[in-house]
Every structure is written in structure tokens, then in C-alpha cells.
Amino acid sequence: MGLKYGAGMTLEDCLEKLSQQFEEADLFYGHGTDNSWDEAVYLVFCALGLSFEEDDTIMSRPVTQKEVSLVESLARRRIEEYVPVAYLVGEAWFAGLPFKVDSRVLIPRSPIAELILEQFAGLLPAQPHRILDLCTGSGCIGIACALAFPDTFVDLADISLGALTLASENAARHDSQDRICVIHSDLFNGVQGTYDLIVTNPPYVSKEEVDALPQEYRHEPELGLVSEEEGLKIPLQILREAPNYLTSDGILVMEVGHSWEALAARLPQVPFLWLEFANGGEGVCMLTARQLREVHAQLV
């Protein structure tokens, strides 16, 4: 018989109980954490408005009956409805920054965060003047870029008006709205001019693969995940159109995740540079504008 929720329990008791419940449930981790304890900490700290910066003495803090009830109700939705914690608490972290999230956007998790924190070292020839975050969702990639490059103008483009509303709120939250423009666009059709960097995490999963994913993914917008032609339709269109929107020294950084092998096999003539990540993740390529222009005729 494990711990029971109740008045008089400490924060540590509450976390142990919740982590034990998560352990016994058939949950998938992959939207911010990879184990039951971290998942419990994520839920409880955010739900109770506690800072992750607190020292260990916070663990002996008593949890009130009202707080216990809140944790129990969120835990029920996590376990019975498989709602990811990010949606339950409305918050996710990307490149060390908090972003508001809800079911209008994918939960940020792209390995591109690592590139942003390193300011695309070794990839960009100079500080970029303009960056486009295509398929921006919550705006996490573009907003993190705006903060990494304080003199750069960033456009956030997405086909989903709901996602763009949230992206605008996130830009304001990070006080970067004066350098950020939100654009409603079906891929490139709403954007203008050229960019030194186009960075994109587009949909790249086939419908069949999405249907086979763990239940947690059903809470994410299908528009953010699914691409036709076995996941490759949207990435292929980006490769075809990107050269028209890149400066002569510009680069494209695009994530295609596990679809990278299929894309590389389909386009053996394209000199993709597949990037490596210290913190995990795969399937992010870099191509220069020059390389894209050289192979353009073969992509049409």
C-alpha cells in the first residue's frame, strides 16, 4: 500500500505518490521529461506555481488540501486521458526559456534548441540580419533565435491562426515583439524578401505513423505532425522553394527527424549536412543557398 494523498503531506510525499502513480500507469514520456519522477516534478511545481530554482528545503513544505485536490485532478487527466503535462499546466521549456503552450501547438522539443544556444556556430557565415522560423507553432524556435541574436529581425510563419495567436503571446512574454513579425502563411506564400537563415521544424510524419504513436500525441494538432507522401511532401516543398527566400550567403536548417533516411535516399544528389547533437536528437540538416540553387532544377 503506497502513500495516500491527504492534508499534512509534504511536497516530497506528494511527488513520491504521484511518481509512483505514473510508474504504475501506462504512460509515454517524451514531451519534456523521460521518467516518472521528473514528470511528477513538472506537474506539481507548475500546478502549484513553485520555482524550479528553489533549494531542497522546499521538499518539506506542507501541501494544502486545495493543492492536493488540484494535483489529483491533473494526475487523473494525465493517467486516464494521457494529456501531456505541458498542456495540463500550459507551459513548456525550449532552449532554457518558458513558452505558453496549449492544444493549438506542438509541445516544443526540437534539437534545434542546441544550435540556437550555440548561435549556429560553424553554420552561419556572419550574424544574421533576418531570420525566418517557418512552421513556427508556439514560436519557440524563432523567439529563441531573436533572444540569441539581439540585433536580428525574425519572422514567425505558420498556416494555423491559433498557433500564431500563441506565438504572438510568447513573443510579448519574452519582450521581443519589436523585432518579431507574425505571418499567416501556407509555407512561403505569405513571406516577403530574403533571409540569412531559414530555420524550420515542419510536419514530417506520415498519417500511418501518427496513428501508431502513443496516445499522448493525439492531443497534439495533427496539422503540426502529418505530411503526405510518407512525411516528405512538406520538407520537399521547402527544399524547392527555400532558395527563392535566402540571401546569397543564406542557409536553411530543417528538421525532418526520423524521416531523414527516406529524404536522403529520395534525393541522393542533394549534399545534406546532417547535424549531430550532444543532447540527443537526429534528422536536422543544413544546406546553403548555393547548394540549394545548384540542385534546384532536379527538385522540381
Q: Which residues bind ligand SAM (CB under 6 A)?
A: 105-106, 108, 110, 135-138, 140-141, 158-160, 163, 185-187, 201-203, 223-224
Residue number with CB closer to ligand SAM (75 or 147)? 147
Residue that has been written with the C-alpha cell 540527443 in this structure:
280
CB of residue 41 to ligand SAM, shortest distance in Å: 22
Residue number with CB closer to ligand SAM (61 or 162)? 162
Residue number with CB closer to ligand SAM (34 or 186)? 186
CB of residue 272 to ligand SAM, shortest distance in Å: 19
CB of residue 183 to ligand SAM, shortest distance in Å: 9
Residue number with CB closer to ligand SAM (159 or 267)? 159
Cell of 42: 513538472
Helices (H), the chain: 11-24, 36-47, 65-80, 85-89, 112-117, 140-148, 161-173, 207-211, 233-241, 260-266, 289-299
Phi–psi pair at 92, nearest 5 degrees = -145, 160
Cell of 66: 486545495
CB of residue 162 to ligand SAM, shortest distance in Å: 8
Of all residues in this chain, which one has the CB nearest to ligand SAM in the complex? 137
Residue number with CB closer to ligand SAM (125 or 214)? 214
SS in 3 state form for 28-80? CCCCCCCCHHHHHHHHHHHHCCCCCCCCHHHHHCECCHHHHHHHHHHHHHHHH
